[in-house]
Amino acid sequence: MELFIPSLLILLLGAIVCFVFLPRMSPYTLGLLAIALFIVGVWQHYSMFPYEYMLPSLSETLKDYSGFIMMAAIILGIIVVLMVMFGGSPPSVSSIIPASIIPASITGSNSSKSILGGINNSMRRNNLASTSFKTV
């Protein structure tokens, strides 16, 4: 019971501050308050757990992050190779996709075939969204 009542009072005091005082403060005051509380939190964590902030040697750090360093080097290497291959500008879509794959309706011809493979407009289904349900 001696641990429940103080924590309940702190929770009630925090709710009063959140619902009464904080909405009336300016954004600058709230920002400075957030920065100040962040600094206090970092200082408190540093004073409680100082062994977490000891810096390891460079070789230990590289050994721990070697997988991430290698993946970053591979990704950057691929980007550099692509930039060298294409001269800094990406290739156009028409040079990558062959002309036989591009449908006729996209290229601009007025054929009656749709992209789905030869269904003309007279074979359309009923429009279920319309109110008349007539076949066109």
Sign of CA dihedral 100, 105, 109, 112: positive
Beta strands (DSSP E) in 1-136 are none
CB 111 within 8 A of CB 105: yes
How many domains are there within the chain? 2
47 domain residue, yes or no: yes
127 domain residue, yes or no: no
| Same-domain pairing of 69 and 107 | yes
72 domain residue, yes or no: yes
| Same-domain pairing of 26 and 67 | no
**Which domain does 23 fall in, by range?**
7-51
1 domain residue, yes or no: no
Range 27-64 burial, b when 16+ CB lie within 10 A, else e: eeeeeeeeeeeeeeeeeeeeeeeeeeeeeeeeeeeeee
106 domain residue, yes or no: yes
At 8 the pLDDT is 92
Q: Is the pLDDT of residue 15 over 90?
A: yes
129 domain residue, yes or no: no
> Who contacts 121 (Cβ-Cβ below 8 Å, separation ≥6)?
112
Mean pLDDT of all residues belonging to the chain: 77
Neighbours of 98 (CB within 10 A): 8
- Cα 95-101-104 angle, rounded to 5 deg: 105
What confidence category does residue 73 fall into, taking pLDDT thresholds of 50, 70 and 90?
very high
| Same-domain pairing of 14 and 34 | yes
92 domain residue, yes or no: yes
117 domain residue, yes or no: no
| Same-domain pairing of 70 and 100 | yes
| Same-domain pairing of 43 and 70 | no
Average pLDDT over residues 114-124: 52
Per mean pLDDT, which of 7-16, 18-27, 104-113, 119-128 is the most reliable?
7-16
CA distances from 89 to 82, 84, 97, 133 (A): 10, 10, 17, 52
At 117 the pLDDT is 52
| Same-domain pairing of 47 and 68 | no
What confidence category does residue 64 fall into, taking pLDDT thresholds of 50, 70 and 90?
confident
- 8-state DSSP, 18: I
The more confidently predicted of residues 62 and 99 is 62
Q: What percent of the chain has pLDDT over 70?
A: 66
| Same-domain pairing of 46 and 72 | no
What are the pLDDT digits (tens) for 37-57?
A: 999 999 999 999 988 878 778
